[in-house]
């Protein structure tokens, strides 16, 4: 067997370059490159190997957590068909990536993390940034990645790549087990050489299959659908990942079964599709929540039924409600004691379509769906054009962006009050044009992920929505966008603090405590003094962005028009009224209220909480 002598890091990069993925006869290179920052724990290993491979793209970021967010945004936009690897030094560079790893795993997004690690050769220990333990020498801060990784390994010998990397690829390309994969790379081992078999670096194609549902369970599901009077589909992110949007469209048109969308599933159908009732759950539309309340059958497709989707188990109130769950992930397929169809969403919908050719919901139910949908569109139009003074309401800002954007443009957000309002109000035309990270709802995801989306599809305009609180957590990747010549339209909504948690605090009787951006008051010793003099525009300009500002909705619309004409990253700072909220539409979210308190407002909130909590259901 012929061999080639390479360092462990050189072998790793050569292997990544040779991996391909194929689905439905489409074959693409699996790895798009490497994101990261070099330090003493990876500069002479991974860094040197990347320098020898200029055809394998390296992007320098400003924060290691942001690197993982870029990778997550990229692979989500690619429907998990391509990924980035992320490299860091040891110590703080590595642990900066832990949050990103958790986000990727929770959202089932494949990313490869390559943190540097302490010396495998122990004679020089403790090395700089090493965590010492009195109980073992076989531990480092990289062990923190274990609970948030789908696969974790530490490469203490160069030859261990031969058995570890195939496992890495197995997990990254799995539609079921994917998430963050972590290879801890001791800095000395990265630079060690080994005679690797040349066959190890031959091109390999990993094929993604479409498993069929169990035949008996599929027939049980058909019978259950036929017996349903008020069925409802909950479309989750799995619809998009499996490219099942066309199949869902045909299934709904044939059967008349209405569809509601989770945050991850929004865009599964166009907003104006006759069967699309919009968002469901704690951030749902009035139309979807009313149909969900009385549904006697819920067909979950690619959803994990988070508490926002189920409104903390209060969304489905029909005492006879039953579930059919189409999901590749067995744990999700078995939720709520439903019929578990552990199968690909697209092929399962196609099979159901063939078995239900003569089935359609009754005319009365169809008319109800049409009426509720029409009422919701009128409500959306109202919220888009409130003419709120003196500064716009957030719903008006959403409407202005929607009117400015083209059908294929991407709206991206993750945390704050925006996800709830956008889930309700954003009118999606095409798949993957609504990009919401709500599995982890991670503040500081937005700007890095916008870079990932733009890298994945440069043809689309990308609108990145961040609140002022989120912006302050990680504005520095604006520099990376400028560095890479990528255009983002970043909308910074200035509502003078943490608007989302402020509203939640008020609803819990706590009056927004600790959520306003104010100085400390010398008399009360609380954060109730003057507003902080933060200038977001100057900050963004200092990082290389073109900056526009608006205090009125007309000014904001003009800024959006100008932003579209520019070929660089633009930051638009717009003031909004945090008290002008979008209603809840008969939904609820379980956030526990203090059971005892000296505050009357908290006591009242607790009473309201106990009333709502009684609506929570178990589904047997």
Blockwise average pLDDT, block size 10, the chain, 620 residues: 96 98 97 98 97 97 98 98 98 97 98 97 92 93 98 98 98 96 98 98 97 98 98 98 98 98 98 98 97 98 97 97 98 96 98 97 98 97 95 97 97 94 97 97 97 98 96 96 98 93 90 92 92 96 98 97 97 95 94 95 95 93
Q: Residue 510: which residues within 8 A CB-CB, separation 6 or more?
A: 599, 601, 602
- Order the strands of the 31-36 sheet from edge to edge: 58-60, 31-36, 83-88, 111-117, 180-186, 151-154
Supply the pLDDT for residue 620: 86
Kindly state the tokens that stand for 218: 């599929």
User: Closest Cα partner for 288 from 530, 580, 13, 586?
Assistant: 586
E strand or H helix at 574: strand 570-575
Residues β-bridged to residue 435: 412
Residue 602 phi/psi, 5-degree rounding, is -70, -40
**CA distance linking residue 389 with residue 393, whole number of Å:** 8
Strand 83-88 to strand 31-36: parallel, antiparallel, or no bridges (unpaired)? Answer: parallel
Residues β-bridged to residue 300: 234, 325
Supply the pLDDT for residue 1: 82
Residue by residue, DSSP assigns 345-366 as: HHHHHHHHHHHTTT----HHHH
Please report where in the chains the tokens 């959520």 appear, as a residue: 515
Supply the pLDDT for residue 363: 97
Could you give all domains of the chain from N- to C-terminal order, each with its CATH number? 3-207 (3.40.50.970), 215-374 (3.40.50.1220), 385-496+531-575 (3.40.50.970)
**CA distance linking residue 386 with residue 578, whole number of Å:** 14
Supply the pLDDT for residue 367: 98
Please work out, in degrees rounded to the nearest 5, the angle formed at the alpha carbon of residue 388 by the alpha carbons of 384 and 392. 75
Supply the pLDDT for residue 151: 98
């Amino acid at each position: 067997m012929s061999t080639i002598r390479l360092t462990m890091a050189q072998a790793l990069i050569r292997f990544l370059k040779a991996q391909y993925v194929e689905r439905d006869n489409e074959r693409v290179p699996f790895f798009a490159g490497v994101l990261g920052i070099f330090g003493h724990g990876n500069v002479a290993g991974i860094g040197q190997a990347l320098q020898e491979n200029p055809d394998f793209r390296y992007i320098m970021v400003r924060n290691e957590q942001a690197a993982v967010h870029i990778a997550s945004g990229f692979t989500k936009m690619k429907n998990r068909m391509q990924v980035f690897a992320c490299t860091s030094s040891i110590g703080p560079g590595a642990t900066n990536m832990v949050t990103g790893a958790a986000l990727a795993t929770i959202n089932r997004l494949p990313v490869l993390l390559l943190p540097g690690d302490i010396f495998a050769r122990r004679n020089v220990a403790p090395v700089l940034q090493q965590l010492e333990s009195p109980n073992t020498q076989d531990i480092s801060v990289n062990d923190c990645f274990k609970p948030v990784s789908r696969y974790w390994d530490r490469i203490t010998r160069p030859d261990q790549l031969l058995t570890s990397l195939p496992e890495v690829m197995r997990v990254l390309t799995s539609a079921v087990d994917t998430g963050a994969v972590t290879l801890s790379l001791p800095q000395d081992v990265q630079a060690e050489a080994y005679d690797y078999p040349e066959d190890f670096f031959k091109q390999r194609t990993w094929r993604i299959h479409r498993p069929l549902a169990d035949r008996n369970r599929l027939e049980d599901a058909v019978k259950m659908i036929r017996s349903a009077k008020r069925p409802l589909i909950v479309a989750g992110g799995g619809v998009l990942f499996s490219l099942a949007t066309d199949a869902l469209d045909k299934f709904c048109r044939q059967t008349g079964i209405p569809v509601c969308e989770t945050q991850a599933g929004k865009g599964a159908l166009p907003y104006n599709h006759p069967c699309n009732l919009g968002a469901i759950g704690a951030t749902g539309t009035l139309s979807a929540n009313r149909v969900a309340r009385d549904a006697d059958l819920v067909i979950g497709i690619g959803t994990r039924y988070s508490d926002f989707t189920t409104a903390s188990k209060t969304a489905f109130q029909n005492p006879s409600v039953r579930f059919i769950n189409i999901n590749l992930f067995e744990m999700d397929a078995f939720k709520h004691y439903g019929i578990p169809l552990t199968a690909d969403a697209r092929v399962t919908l196609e099979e159901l379509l063939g078995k239900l050719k003569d089935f359609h919901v009754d005319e009365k139910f169809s008319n109800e769906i049409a009426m509720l949908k029409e009422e919701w569109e009128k409500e959306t139009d109202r919220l888009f054009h409130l003419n709120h003074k003196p500064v716009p309401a957030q719903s008006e800002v959403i409407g202005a962006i929607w009117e400015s954007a083209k059908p294929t443009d991407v709206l991206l957000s993750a945390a704050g009050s925006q996800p709830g309002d956008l889930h309700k109000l954003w009118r999606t035309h095409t798949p993957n044009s609504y990009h919401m990270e709500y599995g982890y709802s991670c503040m500081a995801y937005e700007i890095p992920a916008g870079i990932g989306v733009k890298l994945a599809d440069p043809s689309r305009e990308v609108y990145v929505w961040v609140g002022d609180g989120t912006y302050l957590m990680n504005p520095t990747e604006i520099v990376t966008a400028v560095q890479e010549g990528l255009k983002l339209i970043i909308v910074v909504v200035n509502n003078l603090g943490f608007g989302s948690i402020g509203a939640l605090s008020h609803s819990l009787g706590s009056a927004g405590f600790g959520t306003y951006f104010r100085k400390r008051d010398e008399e009360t010793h609380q954060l109730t003094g003057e507003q902080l003099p933060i200038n977001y525009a100057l900050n963004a300009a200092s990082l290389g962005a073109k900056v526009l500002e608006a205090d009125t909705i007309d000014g904001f619309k003009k800024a959006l028009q100008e932003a579209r004409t520019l070929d660089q990253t633009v930051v638009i700072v717009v003031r909004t009224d945090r008290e002008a909220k979008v209603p809840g539409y008969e939904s609820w979210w379980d956030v526990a209220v203090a059971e005892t308190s000296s505050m009357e407002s908290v006591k009242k909130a607790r009473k309201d909480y106990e009333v709502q909590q009684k609506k929570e259901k178990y589904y047997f």
